[in-house]
Chains A and B, each alone.
Chain A
């Protein structure tokens, strides 16, 4: 029982991060039916930006101040890169079909990974934990739960994700803009007839997605290394999470994120070699697509002839 609690907690914590990234995927896919392969890279850039701000901050800054600042700047970096990508790469090919969109997204993903590689050629970055009270040190502190050490910083993830999800949910369901988002995702032509500026809505959707991804990047940056390829696997898993939960559904993305996080850790709990941990997400994906292709909370979209 002891061990189980540890893995469950780990799963929930990482699940919260997956959920944040998944939210971005689901929003973008919902509105323009694009699998934004580069979304994981928004997360990676968020992490780098956070670290960049950290380097700029005066060294005496208390963690209680610097941590929110880092999270904020990561979020902003995520916004900027997301909107830039949408304007430069995705908007021009919006009418060119699915394959074009997918390949462009893949191209952007590689591009961003390689750009990051150039800027950060040597070792992966990590918040230095030598000084007591420094961010790195604080983030290394852990408490023992269920026989294993859980880093304290991880306890921020779940509440943060829940708060952000609730805010997002409110925006989408209760505001004029959110209604416009849902309208554009259902029928862009009809939405235009309402006076809705489609381009603006799409841009702002990417903004929200990028914000989520950037913040997630900051969070993970606190507890593990920052390197150019760090967005690849989490991005893939978060996308799987969004699909598992029901793509286009906000609660679905969050549910999916937690499911993937927990299943991954259950694999470890069951003493399966840790190399197979990453396989878990894909297996869940295939199972869900077989049993309930629209995802757990997804709605059935019938193709009209």
Chain B
């Protein structure tokens, strides 16, 4: 694998780590099943993309990212409120379907919707199945900054974001917000009886989750510079879910770990051969089997609700404990 490829892969894993973190807020912490996270990912990416295409000021340099990222997060946030309000009173399976529907609607609409090309693609409409691009624009668009590129999201940029977001979310988990959300996950009715305003906290969870996903979308655009709706599909949403299931529902560091493991695996598989069968070709098949087996063996993910350091601590403690005594029978 070349250095360039390695960069790109690392960056992708980082973006998915952020997506996993975002999904963990709503699924892992608050216990609401969300199958349309790809939708917010897409909205963030498109918002950032369109903002960049229409409003780039090369003099500002990196600040342009701040502009497009803000647009991405705001757009995702607004849509999360639109989606969230009807979803507040839906339970379990119904919520899953509606969010799935939302993800699919977003994808289908983006396949069909065309946007004006702006100054970057003058006289054209952009969008549709081929998506939008921040490349191949007229050579004299920014005469003063001929070397300007919007490719801000290098791998370390992304991973700094991962770390900041992870720490931020772990702190939320420890705060009263986080505790309220976890109460809702455990038992909604009991939470209500304790005076927790479920609607408010569910909405916050939705919002937070979407905004972080939107940020991931912005990073994605500024990494690829060319995005198309095909990528933001149900499989994408399921992959993100798989990451947090793997890493442990409720654990943010677990979410990142899950993203890393699931991100690296295809590349390892590509170079592994068993009996003349290149495993890489069977990747999706193996994922499916893995998912089924994983759910059987570890329904709560590897780390459960614990953050990685806590889990390691528990593991070490267990190794040092003397064997438990047998229960005395009467």
Task: Check A-B contact in the complex, CB < 8 A.
Answer: yes
A interface residues with partner B (beta carbon < 8 Å): 29, 33, 35, 89, 92-93, 96-100, 102-104, 106-111, 114-115, 118, 236, 239-240, 243, 273, 275-276, 278-279, 282-283, 285-286, 289-290, 293, 303, 305
Complex: A279 Cα to B285 Cα, angstroms: 28
Contact A106 B238 (CB under 8 A): yes
The interface bits of chain B over 232-250 (1 if a CB of A lies within 8 angstroms of the residue's CB, else 0) are: 0000001001100100010
B299 interfacial contact with A, CB 8 Å: yes
Q: Which chain A residues lie closer than 8 Å to B296 at the CB level? A: 92-93, 96, 104
Contact A286 B98 (CB under 8 A): yes
| CB pair B288 A107 closer than 8 Å | yes
B97 / chain A contacts, CB cutoff of 8 Å: 35, 239-240, 243, 285
- Specify which of B105, B241, B287, B292 is in contact with A89 (CB 8 Å cutoff): B292
Contacts of B282 in A (CB 8 A): 114
B295 touches A93 (CB 8 A): yes
Residues in B91-133 with C-beta less than 8 Å from chain A: 92-94, 96-98, 100-102, 104-105, 108-109, 111-112
Chain A's nearest CB lies how many Å from the CB of B96?
A: 6
B291 touching A286, Cβ below 8 Å: no
Question: Please, which residues of chain B bring their CB within 8 A of the CB of A110?
Answer: 238, 284-285, 287-288, 291
Across the two chains, which residue of chain B brings its CB closest to A89? Answer: B292
Closest to A111 in B: B288
Majority DSSP secondary structure for residues of A touching B? helix
Measured in the bound complex, the distance between the Cα atoms of B105 and A185 in whole Å is 32
Closest to B92 in A: A98
| B33 close to A278 (CB less than 8 A) | no
Considering the chains assembled together, what is the distance between the CA atoms of A150 and B284 in angstroms? 38
Secondary structure at chain B's binding surface: helix, strand, loop or mixed? Answer: helix
| A-chain residues with CB within 8 Å of residue B104 when the two chains form the complex | 236, 278-279, 282
Task: For B101, give its contact among A98, A240, A273, A303 (CB under 8 Å).
Answer: A240
Complex Cα–Cα for A98 and B249 (A): 14
Residues in B260-289 with C-beta less than 8 Å from chain A: 282, 284-285, 287-289
- Cβ contacts under 8 Å, B93 to chain A: 29, 33, 35, 98, 102
A99-B33 in contact (CB<8A): yes
Min CB distance A87 to B, Å, is 13
User: Is A97 in contact with B299, judged by CB distance below 8 angstroms?
Assistant: yes
B residues neighboring A (CB under 8 Å): 33, 86, 89-90, 92-94, 96-98, 100-102, 104-105, 108-109, 111-112, 189, 238, 241-242, 245, 249, 282, 284-285, 287-289, 291-292, 295-296, 299
**Bound complex: CA A110 to CA B93 (Å):** 19
Q: Given contacts A103-B241, A293-B89, are A286 and B289 in contact (CB under 8 A)?
A: no
B258 to chain A, nearest CB (A): 13
A sample of 12 inter-chain contacts (CB < 8 A) reads A98-B33, A102-B96, A107-B292, A108-B288, A110-B285, A110-B287, A239-B97, A273-B112, A275-B112, A286-B98, A286-B102, A289-B98
- Residues of B within 8 Å of A283, CB to CB, are 105
- For the complex formed, measure the closest distance between the CB of B134 and the CB atoms of chain A, giving whole angstroms: 24
**Docked-complex contact A279 and B94, CB < 8 angstroms:** no
A248 to chain B, nearest CB (A): 12
Q: A104-B295, A108-B292, A114-B288 are in contact. Are A305 and B189 (CB under 8 A)?
A: yes
Say yes or no: A243-B108 contact (C-beta < 8 A), given A98-B33, A110-B284, A305-B189.
Answer: no
Bound-state Cα–Cα, A273 to B112, Å: 8
- The answer for the CA separation of A289 and B88 in the assembled complex, in Å, is 11
Task: Give Cα A33–Cα B94 distance, bound, in whole angstroms.
Answer: 11
Interface pair A111/B299, CB less than 8 Å apart = no
Question: Chain A: which residue is nearest B281 at the CB level?
Answer: A118
Closest partner residue, chain A, to B283 (CB atom): A114
Question: CB distance B98 to A285 under 8 Å?
Answer: yes
If A102-B33, A289-B94 touch, whether A96 touches B295 (CB-CB below 8 Å) is: yes
Q: Which residues of B contact A89 (CB under 8 A)?
A: 292
For B289, the chain A residues whose CB sits under 8 A away are: 107, 111
**A243 contact set on B, CB distance < 8 A:** 94, 97
A285 touches B101 (CB 8 A): yes
- A-B residue pairs, 7 tightest by C-beta: A107-B291, A110-B288, A111-B288, A282-B101, A275-B112, A107-B292, A114-B285
Q: Which residues in A have their C-beta under 8 angstroms from that of B111?
A: 275
Neighbouring B residues of A276 by C-beta, 8 Å? 108-109, 112
The answer to whether A275 and B189 touch (CB under 8 A), given A96-B295, A240-B101, is no
B-side contacts of A286, CB under 8 Å: 86, 98, 101-102
Task: Tell me the minimal C-beta distance from A232 to chain B in angstroms.
Answer: 8
A103 to B109, CA, bound (A): 26
CB of B86 within 8 A of CB of A289, answer yes
Contact between B112 and A103 (Cβ–Cβ < 8 Å)? Answer: no
* Alpha-carbon gap, A109 to B291, bound state (A): 11
Taking CB atoms, residues of chain A closer than 8 Å to B86 are 286, 289-290
Closest to A118 in B: B285
Q: Which residue of B lies closest to A291 (CB)?
A: B86
Is A111 a contact partner of B89 (Cβ separation < 8 A)?
no
Q: Is the beta-carbon distance between A278 and B108 smaller than 8 angstroms? A: yes
Which residues of chain B are near A108, meaning CB under 8 Å? 288, 292
- Distance in angstroms between the alpha carbons of A114 and B287 in the assembled complex: 10
